[in-house]
A and B are shown apart, each in its own frame.
Chain A
Amino acid sequence: MKTVLEVRDLTVTYPARRGAAPARAVDGVNLQVRQGEIVALVGESGCGKSTLARALVGLVRPTGGQVVGDGEPLGYSAAALKAYRRHTQLVLQDPGGALNPRQSVFDAVAEGPRLHGLTDRLGERVHTALAKAGLRPPEQFAGRFPHEMSGGQQQRVVIAGALALEPKVIVADEPVASLDASVRGEILKLILELRDSLGLSALVVSHDLGLAWNIADRVAVMYLGRIVETGTVEEVLLRPRHPYTRALLSVLPDSGEPPVLLTGEPPDPTSVPGGCRFHPRCPLRAAEPDPRCDGLDLPVLTGDPSASALAACHLVQ
């Protein structure tokens, strides 16, 4: 399978506020998304997954490393970025906020194509995108405004706006987190359908492991700016190896294991611990301390999807 989106050794460091250390939001990440593949990026709040998503669509300029779309490293000139927008599109969490309240559905979906000069048979393009996103018949929705639609319909408009540019990859940042439970399934199903019918790839950012299980082919677990475990969805969610992944899974209601509650400070990207960055909260290390945990830095996981499951941990390798 062809790789359509890749990051190599990506770092994003936010400059320091007065008196504080700079925040290493993304601190060395390798990740690949292949054609027709859905990759879930999971992790708790503040682990850097949203920053990584924004870097993937070129909205955040990385401090180090590369974003590679379609085999070519992304440049950050206005023209290069604009060209890249047709390749990778973004879907945000809150569809109500992601749509301009003054724009009709038609204008919202047509904005991308107009900007990229795809005005030839614009109406047809917009209607096709709306229909692909499940708003049928499209004529009925084109004249509406965001406040006249439900959350699920709004999210479909956002997705249609992305599809109108015929991208190869969609980066979705918590695409269903703010939707009703009944609507979530529909939107996830839509993403799966788009994958099957258009060969679209997706990187779905979520804090919800159940969501990853439902739609993803591969899962990457992120902790404090690094990917700590990656593999197919079965490998990572059924046979987790990294103690962080295991702790996350153990607190799911139907995990069948005693819940592991993480102790210690919540992770802070302005002071990343040395050695393994999970060591201050690691239940494995608490049980059997090892000098490597706080003394020896771990290598960055390669992110090669053909390799079997990888976990960044001294104790389980």
Chain B
Amino acid sequence: MSSLAAAGPAKAKGQGAARSGFLPYLAGKLGAALVSFLVTLVIGFVIFSLMPADPVRTLTRGRPTSEAQLTQIRLQLGLDDPIWRRFLTFVGDTLRGELGYSWQFQQSVSSLVADRLWPTLLLMGSAAALSIALGLWLGIRSGWRHGSLFDRIASGASITLWSVPTFWLGMILLVAFSVGVGPIPSLLPAGGMSDPSLPQEGWAHIVDVAKHLVLPCLTMVLVVFAQYVTVMRSSIIDEMGSPYLLTARAKGLTDDAVRRRHAVPNALLPSVTMIFMHLGILVSGAITVEAVYSWPGLGYLTYEALRIPDLPLLQGTFIVFSASVIIMNLLADVVYRFLDPRVRAQ
């Protein structure tokens, strides 16, 4: 900001004071995040140890297995160890990044998660970016002119789409644009992330992936953007009563400038919280959307793990998802401090 230079030493001093308090603040938040993560590990361990499914039976289902073989497998899996040792092994492995070995895929969970992370980030990232941009824009516009025709159409449409079940909307879009209904030809691929018959690199591949991305991304955006519309709209309406907007108008700011410079930055705070919550659950993907479109992401992986159930894989994804929520919360706390001077004072 240009004001920094003009404000002179006093301002620099004021900000320096605020920054010196930042490291203790960050340390506190980091500590809290670490505690949350350890609690998550305990919960993850307890839940998956208490699962009524017997891992050995699940593994050997449908195959003739002798009693001796069963004992051998139990030994290999460490199921006979005392529970505290199993817990310590689990925590140690997790902290080293080893999330166990998937029964179903016969592959380490870490490598499975790594493989599926990129498709999920692509789908969920693009859906999040679009829904945030669309939702905030609509929310600001409809809040600023609430009661107008624009507001009624935007709010009505977003609430309607929000109430639609994700899988149903996915199916409808799939039928309409992929299978093709009546005059609508089959425009887009039905599932997966790329066409295996095409080369897996270069421009053709990128275009192919983009085509596969359209429907799942659209489904996600349509279901999610309403949250941003409603939160942003009501924050804007809250801010509109604030006298400082009147002060700004009296100084000569136009209506647009008052909205852009004063109302929106202050009204954004609740939406920022929501954005980070949204980013936190991003990697967990949308199980329903990924399942409907067979999108090879983490959500689909969870779905596949649930069917067996593949306990190490479920446990691994559980930890990855929790960690991502915790990290995003931490980031939200840090960003908040920069956005809201009042948080700095606390």
Mark A residues whose CB is within 8 Å of B.
57, 59, 78, 81-82, 85-86, 89-90, 92-94, 97-102, 104, 106-107, 110-112, 115-116, 122-123, 126, 139-145, 147-148, 158, 161, 165
Residues of A within 8 A of B254 (CB): 78
Q: How far is the CA of A89 from the CA of B340 in the complex (A)?
A: 28
Secondary structure of the A contact surface, majority rule: helix
How far, in whole Å, are A106 and B6 apart by their CA atoms in the complex? 9
| Interchain CB contact under 8 A, A123 and B247 | no
Question: What are the residues of chain A within 8 A of B6 when measuring CB–CB?
Answer: 106, 110, 122-123, 126
Cβ contact within 8 Å between A102 and B10: no
What per-residue 1/0 map shows which CB atoms of B251-290 lie under 8 Å from chain A? 1111000000010011000000000000000000000000
Chain B neighbourhood of A165, CB < 8 A = 251
**B253–A106 contact, CB under 8 A?**
no
Q: Does A99 contact B11, Cβ atoms closer than 8 Å?
A: no
The 11 listed contacts between A and B (C-beta, < 8 Å) are A89-B251, A98-B246, A102-B341, A115-B251, A141-B10, A143-B7, A145-B341, A145-B342, A147-B342, A147-B345, A161-B247
Which chain B residue lies CB-closest to A101? Answer: B342
Contacts of B244 in A (CB 8 A): 97-101
Are B14 and A94 interface neighbours, CB within 8 A? no
Q: Which residues of B contact A (CB under 8 A)?
A: 1, 3, 6-15, 242-244, 246-254, 262, 265-266, 339-342, 345
- Given the complex of chains A and B, what is the CA–CA distance between A92 and B251 in angstroms? 12
Complex alpha-carbon distance, A309 and B266, angstroms: 48
* Distance in Å: Cβ of A226 to nearest Cβ of chain B: 25
- By a CB distance below 8 angstroms, the chain B residues around A144 are 14
Question: How many angstroms between the C-alpha atoms of A59 and B250 in the bound complex?
Answer: 7
Contacts of A90 in B (CB 8 A): 246-247, 250
| Contact partners of A147 in chain B: CB under 8 A | 341-342, 345
Instruction: Kindly list chain B residues whose C-beta atoms are within 8 Å of the C-beta of A94.
Output: 243
* Residue from A101, A111, A115, A123 within 8 A of B8 (CB atoms): A123
Taking a contact as CB atoms closer than 8 A, the residue among A97, A101, A115, A142 that contacts B11 in the complex is A142
> Are A97 and B251 in contact, with the CB atoms below 8 A?
no
A104 near B11 (CB under 8 angstroms)?
yes
- Give complex CA distance A166, B15 in Å: 29
Give the nearest-CB partner of A165 in chain B. Answer: B251
User: Do B13 and A143 touch across chains, with their CB atoms under 8 A apart?
Assistant: yes
Verify A102–B247 contact, CB threshold 8 A: no
With most chain A CB atoms within 10 A of its CB, the pick from B13, B14, B243, B251 is B251
Contacts of A106 in B (CB 8 A): 3, 6-7, 11
Chain A residues with CB below 8 A from B250, complex form? 57, 59, 85, 89-90
Cβ contact within 8 Å between A161 and B251: yes
CA distance A170 to B242 in the complex (A): 20
Within the complex, the shortest CB–CB distance from A143 to chain B, in Å, comes to: 3
- Shortest CB-to-CB span from B253 to chain A, Å, is 6
Chain B residue numbers with a CB within 8 Å of A92 are: 243, 246-247
Other-chain residue from B8, B262, B265, B342 in contact with A142 (beta carbon distance below 8 A) = B8
C-alpha gap A194/B225 in the complex (Å): 52
- Chain B hits for A85, CB < 8 A: 250-252
When distances are taken between beta carbons in the complex, the residues of chain B under 8 Å from A116 are 252
CB neighbours of A139 from chain B (8 A): 8-10
B22 to chain A, nearest CB (A): 16
Give Cα distance in the complex from A158 to B7, angstroms. 18
Contact check, A158 vs B14: say whether CB atoms are below 8 A apart. no
Please give, as numbers and ranges, the residues of chain A lying within 8 Å of B248 by CB-CB distance.
Answer: 100, 111
Q: Which residues of B contact A82 (CB under 8 A)?
A: 252
Task: Give the CA-CA distance A111 to B262 in the complex, in Å.
Answer: 11
Nearest CB of chain B from residue A160's CB, rounded to whole Å: 12
Residues of A within 8 A of B342 (CB): 101, 145, 147
Given A89-B250, A123-B6, 17 further pairs, Cβ under 8 A? A85-B251, A85-B252, A90-B247, A90-B250, A93-B243, A100-B266, A102-B265, A102-B341, A104-B341, A110-B3, A115-B252, A123-B8, A141-B10, A147-B341, A147-B342, A148-B345, A165-B251
B257 (CB) vs chain A CBs: closest residue? A115
Residues of A within 8 Å of B253, CB to CB, are: 111, 115
8 closest Cβ pairs, A-B complex: A143-B14, A90-B250, A85-B252, A143-B11, A97-B243, A139-B10, A112-B251, A145-B341
A97–B341 CA distance with the chains assembled, in angstroms: 15
Q: How far is the CA of A155 from the CA of B328 in the complex (A)?
A: 39
Contacts of A86 in B (CB 8 A): 252
A75 to B179 alpha-carbon distance, docked (Å):
62
Instruction: Give the nearest-CB partner of A92 in chain B.
Output: B243
**A-chain residues with CB within 8 Å of residue B11 when the two chains form the complex:** 104, 106, 142-143
